[in-house]
Every structure is written in C-alpha cells, then in structure tokens.
Amino acid sequence: MTLPGAATVVRDVNGRVLAIRRGDLGTWDMPGGWCELGETATGTAVREVHEETGLHVRPTRLIGVYSNPAWIVRYPNGDEVRPVGALFECGVIGGRLRADGVEALDVAFIDPDAPDTLGTSPLDASPLHAAFWEDARHPRPEPYLR
C-alpha cells in the first residue's frame, strides 16, 4: 500500500531541528505522519507536530516531495507501506513542548549535523527519513523532488 504523508523541519533559534523518539519503532525522526482522509499535506504537517510535540506551527515552505518504490516501511505489527512524503519547513507560533507519550516518547531539538547526539542516529530510521535529514542539513533554495 502506498500512503501519502508529511513531515516537518522545525528549528529553534540556534538552528537545531525538532526530533521525536517514536513510540512504535523507538527511533528518532522529525515530527510527521500519514494524511487522514480529506486532509491536505500541510494540514497533516500541522496536526502531527501538535499531536506529537504540543507545538503549534505554520508551514513556511515546501522543502521537497520524496518517493521511491524501494522504500518500504515495516512496522512491528507486520504492516508494510510505501511512503510518499512531503517535507515542510515550519515556524513555531505557539504551544508548549512536550512528548505525547504514545507517538512520541521524547522530544528534543538536535543539531542536524550531529544527529547521533541522542544515542541513536535519526539517519538509521528509514531511507525516507534519512533523505529528510539530509535536506534539513543541506537546505536547497527550491523544492526538491526525490
């Protein structure tokens, strides 16, 4: 099954990127998730950040759209999906930083050039999220289609 989703690059004043420790896989990723029926990609980005981290954000630009038939995500329950993801840069407009305890077990702002500072690298999470982190570390001036 192919699922559309959205993820976010949310930076603090020092340029660090918001990351969550996922409740399902235990890996560190940027906030994001699958689109719900009737929801836009930007709506998904805003909703997922709020659900997982408590922050209210506003998308400011599209970083890229990512799709690769070889990228398969396998969940512990046996589900397999092929993601197509949009990555948005977002600015914080409110809220209070906290992990929801279900989708996000922990939250932290990390240096995108030193992603292993949390004990495990977000680059190990999935090829899709590795691509997201690469583009967070080396922003492109125009949206990128991968």
Question: How does pLDDT run across 69-101, given as a tens digit for each residue?
Answer: 888 878 788 888 888 999 999 999 999 999 999
Is domain 2-145 given the CATH code 3.40.50.300 in the classification? Answer: no
Question: How does pLDDT run across 26-59, given as a tens digit for each residue?
Answer: 888 899 999 999 999 999 999 999 999 999 999 9
Distance CA 114, CA 110 (A): 8
Question: pLDDT at position 68, please?
Answer: 87
Question: pLDDT at position 24, please?
Answer: 83
Q: Where are the domains of the chain?
A: 2-145
Question: How does pLDDT run across 125-146, given as a tens digit for each residue?
Answer: 677 778 888 888 888 888 877 6
CA 20 distance to own-chain centroid: 8
